[in-house]
Structure 1
């Protein structure tokens, strides 16, 4: 707690594992302003002063500022450092994006087939080695003439001249490049046919020439126009050695293509042509990481992971494990996607053909079907799926370019990839399990339920042994990040255990023990759920009042199954869970109160106006056909009086309810259930009074303008527009409060009282989860 408050006074940002660049820029400015930066960035002339008393004092001030601008998890990285420079360098090495602690010479340069040999690789021998490329020769008279044609973009003349003088192909145009380089730079004005003709006329050695930047023409093609696969094909067919020429950063062509925005097809082609014995381990790991990061679950990833699944545990160029890269991406998993009703129907109607298995022995287990779906339910499922498939064909002609299709494709590919990745954990040493545990912790932060489900099936992954750097288990991580679906997966509520006795008393005691377990800062799960950290997912609920209610629901749920002693336990800041909750939610509670008061005030004013109008309308009811005493006769008379009475009584009730809300004590418990209940009743009676008022107005118009129906209808439509907009807006708020307060309990699965097809259960569950 103290470090968090200090960070606000030093810089307005707390360092975590995702904002190093922003934090370092601000803390550097702060240290410069305080004349402390030279302590962190120690220069040679300052070394002789480093032992002076004044220097040590400045060093202590800088170290104090750095430590107290860190969050709890990042502070742990530097808590043992004694100087500001040591702390700064450590944070740079650990948190700087893209920083790789290993120099290039220490990266794993073994070929993949050597590092992870398979049955098919035992007899393989290297056919190609990595090429260095070459530089162009000096320009002769013929070369100078050829260069003039190329620079002036007279490609037909250049082609004719090259046919007569083949040696001109190595002539240098600019920046050490050849005519082929120049043609690719100007590909927008130069057709692919011209480039293919140049490739056909130039020698194989000419295609290997590098420019002054160390790049061949194929390198430039991949960097500038990765979508032009046909041009790359013509160059590779001419000289396959181009595939093994590296750029100045020693990056293979296939990795370069995979990193480009439109390079998916190019990467697939280059991967199919690149000899596997020339692909190094780190390069292959980078390919997999890029595929996960860019959501390209294509043949490149499929082939690499099937042949060499242990590559997911090899560090890529950035020092990250592909295993963790996948865990940090919610979008490839179906639990991280949200659809409307129509989109969800289309999604379930799309059928994706699975990728073929290279090894027939690999078998991905399909989820067990619901054995209760029998008889007429089978026919119902078949008819529904046929209708959805027909909808897809009718409304989605360009399906392959549709975002829903692409998302379904990624989700189906993930279902194939995960079992292969999980099998790696069955054959690794105990010291290598740390990367899997880290990946599970990251998946819990991001809410990737499918990822965690597959790994927890392996008995080597024990729920209580998986912890992050703060000492939190998966349960605490899910609570801190407010990941409901992960919390549902690894936690069984008390009332269901008590009712079903499925696991018995011992299992429930273990669950309560997990709630009481503390991390490195003395926080149990109640402390954790009471805090709001940078990872807490609290902004997905509309309205600050509902956010506060959701926070209270989390806290109350965990509190309901905790031991009484854990509810009063104190952390290292000597604070109980309730004190932590109150301290962290001061601003949110204040904003929630203000929001409720503003809504109640505006609604009470509208209700009071309706009361005034409808009360006065009782004494001014127009005359009808059946008398002159001001009271219309027949059924219309009864309807008018009833509608007026309903509007008057409901608006009066609404005023009373909103006045009760305005005079409420606004305690935390009131914000949990009482005030949402009052708000729902007040909004419902207000909307009822508005609808009744419009109906009363329609009856009065019908009576007064007898025989002029078109006038009556026109007036009613004009009056109904603004009132309908108000009703729609407030009914949306009413529905949100209703779902948030009385919807399916967010920590429990919906009971399966009747057997339903799996697709329908998933559809209903996803639609409901959109409101949470």
Structure 2
């Protein structure tokens, strides 16, 4: 029902707008408010469908600016609306005209991307200060692609380049992101160290012991022993790898560029290795249980296996949300600004009749 109502609303907007376009320019300006506040309100709220209908039939709206000399793309940057900003890829060389707009303080489009998000509620949707900073860096790098090269190092009236403004505006969130990364790495390092210690000791205290004459394991030919040996080795290697990865996070220099790719990627690798090491450790425990009791406690095998995997399930349950958020922010979010086939000019523009 919501989709039907939404479709009906868009059809109504298009019909009304087509009727408005039959009027002269001055009357059109009065209809949507001088100086064009309707389209800027839509850009501020991220109403892509509304703007698409208006601009498709009246492309001149792209050039309109508010009292701060902000176009709809400038406002989309200030409010971090990706869908509206991506329309800039659909307007061709016109974007070279729009990107040179500056406000009264000499801020260009990249300066606006360097500012802290004006709507904190939108930034709070992203969990963790490190991921919030990563999202801000993604925006800054994307806007840098569309502005002219001279704008990258251009100073505003306060003598600040976009890069310097970004560091100044995001100083607090960088500190919070560093603390968040360090705390997360410290917690995971503790778990990885305990696992590495346990599985390393288990490798030299084999279930069933060794043959005195040859020193070979007693249950060497058993399938359960082979499963134990392989899973124990996997757990040791992955826990050591996880430990080293978290150690590299702990000793990082925490420059703003590190939050864009390096630190989140290391955290994903470390968590993945830690998940594998915990699972492999539990498999080794079940295999050792099977070897020691040699099938004499078959009725307890299934309950033991279930209980053994409870720590794995509990750990994954506690950290899977963080893991998925990291993957989404690091890999998936890179496609947020990928130019798509926008419906902006997909239909033939109807000529405006004066």
What TM-score do you get using the length of structure 1 for normalisation? Answer: 0.41
Indicate conservation of the 8 Å contact 2:78/2:118, yes or no.
no
> For residue 172 of structure 2, what is the aligned residue in structure 1?
587
Cα displacement (A) at 1:482: 0.1
Cα displacement (A) at 1:533: 4.5
> For residue 296 of structure 2, what is the aligned residue in structure 1?
707
Change (3 A) 1:631 1:485: same
Change (3 A) 1:713 1:427: same
Distance, in Å, in 1 between the alignment partners of 2:24 and 2:59 is 11
User: For 1:169-204, what per-residue CA distance to the aligned partner results, in whole angstroms no more than 9, with x for missing partners?
Assistant: xxxxxxxxxxxxxxxxxxxxxxxxxxxxxxxxxxxx
> For residue 482 of structure 1, what is the aligned residue in structure 2?
80
Change (3 A) 1:703 1:474: same
Cα displacement (A) at 1:408: 2.7
2:276 to 660, 663, 688: 688
Structure ranking higher on relative contact order (CA contacts 8 Å, 6+ apart): 2
> For residue 410 of structure 1, what is the aligned residue in structure 2?
5
Count of residues paired in the alignment: 331
> For residue 529 of structure 1, what is the aligned residue in structure 2?
113
User: For 1:88-122, what per-residue CA distance to the aligned partner results, in whole angstroms no more than 9, with x for missing partners?
Assistant: xxxxxxxxxxxxxxxxxxxxxxxxxxxxxxxxxxx
Q: Which has the higher helix share?
A: 2
2:324 to 731, 735, 754: 735
Change (3 A) 1:532 1:425: farther
- Secondary structure at the counterpart of residue 21 of structure 2: helix
- Please show how residues 172-571 of structure 1 align to structure 2 within 5 Å: 405=1, 407-432=2-27, 433=29, 435=32, 437-459=36-58, 461-464=60-63, 466-492=64-90, 507-508=92-93, 510-535=94-119, 537-571=122-156
Change (3 A) 1:667 1:512: farther
Cα displacement (A) at 1:750: 5.9
Indicate conservation of the 8 Å contact 2:239/2:273, yes or no.
yes
5+ long unaligned stretches in structure 2: 342-354
Distance, in Å, in 2 between the alignment partners of 1:677 and 1:711 is 41
Cα displacement (A) at 1:700: 1.2
Indicate conservation of the 8 Å contact 2:110/2:140, yes or no.
yes
Change (3 A) 1:650 1:750: farther
Distance, in Å, in 2 between the alignment partners of 1:527 and 1:629 is 68
Distance, in Å, in 1 between the alignment partners of 2:269 and 2:81 is 30
Cα displacement (A) at 1:423: 1.6
Cα displacement (A) at 1:585: 0.6
- Please show how residues 61-210 of structure 1 align to structure 2 within 5 Å: none
Indicate conservation of the 8 Å contact 1:532/1:584, yes or no.
yes
Cα displacement (A) at 1:467: 1.6
Indicate conservation of the 8 Å contact 2:224/2:288, yes or no.
no
User: For 1:222-253, what per-residue CA distance to the aligned partner results, in whole angstroms no more than 9, with x for missing partners?
Assistant: xxxxxxxxxxxxxxxxxxxxxxxxxxxxxxxx
Q: Structure 1 segments of 4 or more deviating over 6 A?
A: none
User: For 1:331-373, what per-residue CA distance to the aligned partner results, in whole angstroms no more than 9, with x for missing partners?
Assistant: xxxxxxxxxxxxxxxxxxxxxxxxxxxxxxxxxxxxxxxxxxx
Change (3 A) 1:428 1:519: farther
Cα displacement (A) at 1:516: 2.9
> For residue 283 of structure 1, what is the aligned residue in structure 2?
none
Indicate conservation of the 8 Å contact 1:567/1:576, yes or no.
yes
Distance, in Å, in 2 between the alignment partners of 1:730 and 1:410 is 39
Distance, in Å, in 1 between the alignment partners of 2:338 and 2:217 is 62
Indicate conservation of the 8 Å contact 2:100/2:109, yes or no.
yes
> For residue 390 of structure 1, what is the aligned residue in structure 2?
none
Distance, in Å, in 2 between the alignment partners of 1:586 and 1:687 is 33
Indicate conservation of the 8 Å contact 1:515/1:562, yes or no.
yes
- Secondary structure at the counterpart of residue 491 of structure 1: helix
Change (3 A) 1:621 1:462: same
Distance, in Å, in 2 between the alignment partners of 1:629 and 1:659 is 35
5+ long unaligned stretches in structure 1: 1-404, 493-502, 752-772
Cα displacement (A) at 1:680: 1.0
User: For 1:294-344, what per-residue CA distance to the aligned partner results, in whole angstroms no more than 9, with x for missing partners?
Assistant: xxxxxxxxxxxxxxxxxxxxxxxxxxxxxxxxxxxxxxxxxxxxxxxxxxx
When Rg is computed on C-alpha atoms for both structures, the one with the higher figure is: 1
My pick for the range that moved more, 407-416 or 676-685, is 407-416
Indicate conservation of the 8 Å contact 2:195/2:277, yes or no.
yes
> For residue 217 of structure 1, what is the aligned residue in structure 2?
none
Change (3 A) 1:562 1:553: same
Indicate conservation of the 8 Å contact 1:530/1:578, yes or no.
yes
Cα displacement (A) at 1:540: 2.0
> For residue 723 of structure 1, what is the aligned residue in structure 2?
312
1:678 to 266, 270, 277: 266
Distance, in Å, in 2 between the alignment partners of 1:443 and 1:707 is 72
- Secondary structure at the counterpart of residue 462 of structure 1: helix
Distance, in Å, in 2 between the alignment partners of 1:566 and 1:629 is 70
- Secondary structure at the counterpart of residue 427 of structure 1: coil
Indicate conservation of the 8 Å contact 1:622/1:632, yes or no.
no
User: For 1:682-704, what per-residue CA distance to the aligned partner results, in whole angstroms no more than 9, with x for missing partners?
Assistant: 11111110111111111112222
Indicate conservation of the 8 Å contact 2:117/2:123, yes or no.
no
2:196 to 611, 614, 619: 611
Distance, in Å, in 1 between the alignment partners of 2:119 and 2:25 is 29
Change (3 A) 1:541 1:424: farther
RMSD of aligned residue pairs (Cα, Å): 2.3
> For residue 336 of structure 2, what is the aligned residue in structure 1?
746
